[in-house]
Amino acid sequence: MTSADQTPVRVGVFGLLGSGNLGNDGSLEAVLGYLRAEHPAAVVDALCGGPEAVTTRFGIPATRLHWYRGEYRTASRAGAIAAKGLGKLVDAVRTAAWVRRHDVVIVPGMGVLEATLPLRPWGFPYSLFLLCATGRLFGTRVALVGVGAAAIGNRPTRTLVRWSARLAAYRSYRDAPSRDAMRAMGVDTARDEVYPDLAFALPTPRASAPSDPSAPPGPVCVGVMDFHGGNDDRARADEIHRRYLDGTIRFVRALVEEGRAVRLLTGDACDASVVAAILDAVDSPLVTAAEPSSLADLMKEMAAADTVVAIRYHNLICALKTGTPVLALCYAAKSDALMAEMGLGAYCHPAREVDADRLLEQFRALEKRSAELRRTLTERNLVAVRQLEHQFTALTSALFPATDDANAHARQEAS
């Protein structure tokens, strides 16, 4: 909190926010909650993918991340290629001007240091590098807070990510494998800490009471994804997608044949095509779909379910936060690490090689231990909340030293 004779601290938030990915927006929501609670005088705005959505939902001014609106569309015509190239130059100037107006810039969570999904180096990695480089140039503290990272094979992408991390003033990670990956890529991580994903700081809806063991089985939430593998899987992307979709359809059909209600959930706007394919293949009133617009919506759906099966990382977090037993379709180490940390490491299944029969076996084993796992999740969630309190305290010390000093003085006076 600033004193009356100080200019309010200017804080920017940066990333692919407001672009339809619920997990990204959930991370932003958690950081804004921290800023509003601990630094209410801070003036906050965003440089992001979907400025209109961010302003509408979160009530902060926002600027479009890219000058060229077709940045994430494939450019095949000469005009589009030229516009995209020009956009890179314009974005360098725009990003520098935006960064210079701030005292602090926070990149809230997200997998900004990984390429576990298809990613071009001159897309977001280039934008992140511009942010961190201009932050260092103008003395603006850039913080990568609770971010995800993974080893990157593509050399240009790896170089941009490595230098972005090196140039940031503060780094913390959402799991130990992320920190290990950055260390392996040549970043000094000696001072970097690991905390739970920022989404664990969000409010949790009240979970439904555990079902009566003698009652009929309750609904199953199935979180889907428009999954085609990662950066290194481009040659077999169609095969991976087909196998994932076919396996998921077979799994849903088997549940319906057992009389189970299935609720399909997404985590990004692009997942709607997978929902449509499953509904078309499994024509049953037992299969319905939700249209969640936030992680809060996802958690409400999952809190009402007996069990969850999901692939998207933040779908898993929503299930875990509500204490609902979940089986993870894992496409990256981050999912395995999350499940292990929350006590469900035995319930992971490879997303690239979905075997419906094996998935059903794991699902039934999960449901048999439901009551025990719910107790485990209650305990692990309490630990996660306490760890994130430490994360926000560390963030204040690193980015808002004047506020931290004032709070320490106030505590001393009170004692």
Tell me the per-residue pLDDT of 357-378, one tens digit each, with 9 for 90 and over: 999 999 999 999 999 999 999 9
Residue 214 resides in a domain = no
Residue 299 resides in a domain = yes
Of 313, 226, 318, which Cα lies nearest the Cα of 272? 226
Together in a domain, 69 and 182: yes
Instruction: Provide the pLDDT for residue 276.
Output: 97
Q: Which residues pair with 106 in a beta bridge?
A: 13, 143
Together in a domain, 26 and 172: yes
Arithmetic mean of pLDDT over the chain: 91
Residue 275 is part of a domain; what is its CATH number?
3.40.50.2000
Number of domains in the chain: 2
Beta-carbon contacts of residue 383 (< 8 Å; ≥ 6 apart): none
Instruction: Provide the pLDDT for residue 3.
Output: 43
How far is residue 355's CA from residue 254's CA, in Å, rounded to a whole number? 13
Residue 353 resides in a domain = yes
Quickly state the pLDDT bin for 217 (edges 50, 70, 90): confident
Instruction: Provide the pLDDT for residue 206.
Output: 72
Together in a domain, 405 and 302: no
How far is residue 410's CA from residue 213's CA, in Å, rounded to a whole number? 53
Instruction: Provide the pLDDT for residue 408.
Output: 45
Together in a domain, 391 and 354: no
Residue 22 resides in a domain = yes
Q: Which domain holds residue 281?
A: 220-368
Mean pLDDT of 2-15: 78
Together in a domain, 97 and 169: yes
Enter the tokens of residue 95.
């990003």
Instruction: Provide the pLDDT for residue 86.
Output: 82
The H-or-E segment that residue 406 falls in is helix 401-414
Residue 209 resides in a domain = no
Quickly state the pLDDT bin for 411 (edges 50, 70, 90): very low
Together in a domain, 245 and 345: yes
Together in a domain, 55 and 183: yes
The H-or-E segment that residue 146 falls in is strand 141-147
Judge whether 16 and 24 are in contact, CB under 8 Å. yes
Instruction: Provide the pLDDT for residue 67.
Output: 85
Judge whether 327 and 238 are in contact, CB under 8 Å. no
For 9-36, what is each residue's pLDDT tens digit?
A: 999 999 999 999 999 999 999 999 999 9
Together in a domain, 20 and 145: yes
**Considering only 9-18, 159-168, 206-215, 241-250, which range has the smallest mean pLDDT?**
206-215
Please say if the pLDDT value at position 271 is more than 90: yes
Together in a domain, 187 and 260: no
Together in a domain, 186 and 253: no
The more confident residue out of 334 and 214 is: 334
Together in a domain, 188 and 224: no
Residue 208 resides in a domain = no
DSSP 149: B
| Strand, helix or coil for residue 63 | strand
Positive or negative torsion for Cα 314, 319, 321, 322: positive
Q: Which of 75-79, 86-90, 177-181 tops mean pLDDT?
A: 177-181
pTM: 0.89
Quickly state the pLDDT bin for 230 (edges 50, 70, 90): confident
Together in a domain, 326 and 182: no
Residue 235 resides in a domain = yes
Q: Which residues pair with 62 in a beta bridge?
A: 46
Residue 377 resides in a domain = no
